[in-house]
């Protein structure tokens, strides 16, 4: 239970039993930008690609537990609010393990100018606007725009919620 994390009405936090689940977080700042981080070149999956904060739901964790943990581990920030669902998908990368992913638009607290990146996992970060979305595609593969699409969905949803 995370009584210090506000979850907006209508946000679905699915039960995760029986499958491999992944959570993703499009983190917003007060200027309406979204956080993205570059995966290190030595990563097995998606090396040297931009990504949102997130990762696998560990055994015994809820989706909310995993969001809290992944945000803390990957940035040092504290999850304060889950604003909206950004979608679900089922995908199978090169390792052959099917993953069920659920992504959220979130707010955090902490020093947003200095995320505590895990150096062995992430090498850079950016606060992206819609103009930055082309940069978030996989280098050399303009069809691989999952991160850009997810960040774009988050930025549009944030505008809807604000207006």
Model confidence over 63-121: pLDDT tens digits?
Answer: 999 999 999 999 999 999 999 999 999 988 778 889 899 999 999 999 999 999 988 99
pTM for this model (two decimals): 0.93
Going from N- to C-terminal start, the domains of the chain cover 6-162
| Euclidean distance between CA atoms 154 and 101, whole angstroms | 15
The pLDDT assigned to 105 comes to 98
| Euclidean distance between CA atoms 82 and 156, whole angstroms | 15
pLDDT for residue 141 is more than 60: no
Length of the chain, please?
163
pLDDT for residue 152 is more than 90: yes
Alpha-carbon Rg for the chain in angstroms: 15
Q: CA torsion angle for 155, 157, 162, 163 (degrees, to 10)?
A: 110
Strand partners, 99: 20, 91
pLDDT band (50, 70, 90) for residue 145: confident
pLDDT for residue 1 is more than 90: no
Model confidence over 25-70: pLDDT tens digits?
Answer: 999 999 999 999 999 998 887 788 899 999 999 999 999 999 999 9
87 φ/ψ sector (left φ>0, alpha ψ -120 to 50, else beta): left
Contacts of 156 (CB under 8 A, 6+ apart): none
Residue with tokens 């998908």: 89
Task: Specify the fold of 6-162.
Answer: Nucleoside Triphosphate Pyrophosphohydrolase (3.90.79)
pLDDT for residue 128 is more than 80: yes
Strand partners, 28: 34, 107
* β-pair type (78-91, 6-7): parallel
């Amino acid at each position: 239970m995370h009584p210090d994390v506000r979850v907006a009405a209508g946000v679905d936090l699915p039960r995760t039993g029986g499958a491999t689940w992944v959570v993703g977080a499009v983190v917003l700042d007060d200027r309406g930008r979204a956080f993205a981080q570059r995966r290190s070149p030595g990563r097995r999956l998606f090396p040297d690609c931009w990504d949102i904060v997130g990762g696998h739901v560990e055994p015994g964790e809820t989706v909310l537990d995993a969001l809290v943990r992944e945000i803390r581990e990957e940035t040092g920030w504290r999850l304060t609010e889950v604003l909206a669902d950004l979608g679900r998908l089922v995908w199978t990368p090169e390792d052959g393990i099917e993953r069920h992913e659920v992504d959220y638009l979130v707010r955090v607290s902490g020093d947003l100018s200095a995320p505590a990146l895990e150096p062995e996992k992430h090498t850079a970060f950016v606060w992206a606007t819609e103009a930055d979305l082309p940069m978030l595609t996989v280098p050399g593969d303009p069809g691989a725009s999952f991160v850009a699409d997810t960040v774009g969905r988050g930025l549009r949803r944030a505008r809807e919620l604000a207006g």
